[in-house]
Amino acid sequence: KDRDRKEFRTAHGRIVRDGGGVEADVKVAAQEVSIIELLLTQQGTLFDFATEWTKSNAYKPGQRQVTDAVYADFKRFAQDEMRGGGLKPEQVYAPQLANLEKSFIAAKIKGPALQQLKGVRESLQSEVRLDLDR
């Protein structure tokens, strides 16, 4: 508890407390990230596109870098990555989908339910395509 922690001052007057490691001077709430942002960042698609883009485009200070044409190129790149297997939307939910599949198997649920689970994985790809257009 904070009340049990001793307060000290550094040579420059900053307050520090014992027993808690390093604390931020200013706490900032974490920004919410959409599933598509998580997916594109986590699986390296944004980085890979940026790497490819910089090979043939020079940075121009003061000019808008991400134009509608660049974004259209990015969408094509992301869709090509999905088709080629480099971008897997279902990976965001992989642990949950795997647990659900194990539960189905353990409960001897077969047929339509397992097929629908496969459909969920496929529909995630459609959702990513739609999100890229939003």
pTM: 0.62
Q: What is the reported pLDDT for 131?
A: 84
Work out the burial of residue 114: count CB atoms within 10 Å of its CB; fewer than 13 is exposed, 13-18 middle, 19 or more buried: middle
Task: Give the pLDDT of residue 123.
Answer: 86
Report the pLDDT value the prediction gives residue 71, as an integer from 0 to 100. Answer: 93
Name the residue among 41, 45, 36 with its Cα closest to residue 83: 45
The pLDDT value given to residue 80:
92
Q: Report CA-CA distances (Å) from 23 to 4, 13, 92.
A: 16, 16, 30
Q: For residue 104, what are its two tokens? A: 């189905």
pLDDT in tens, 17-76: 887 667 777 889 988 888 888 889 999 999 999 999 999 998 888 888 889 999 999 999
- Which pLDDT belongs to residue 27? 86
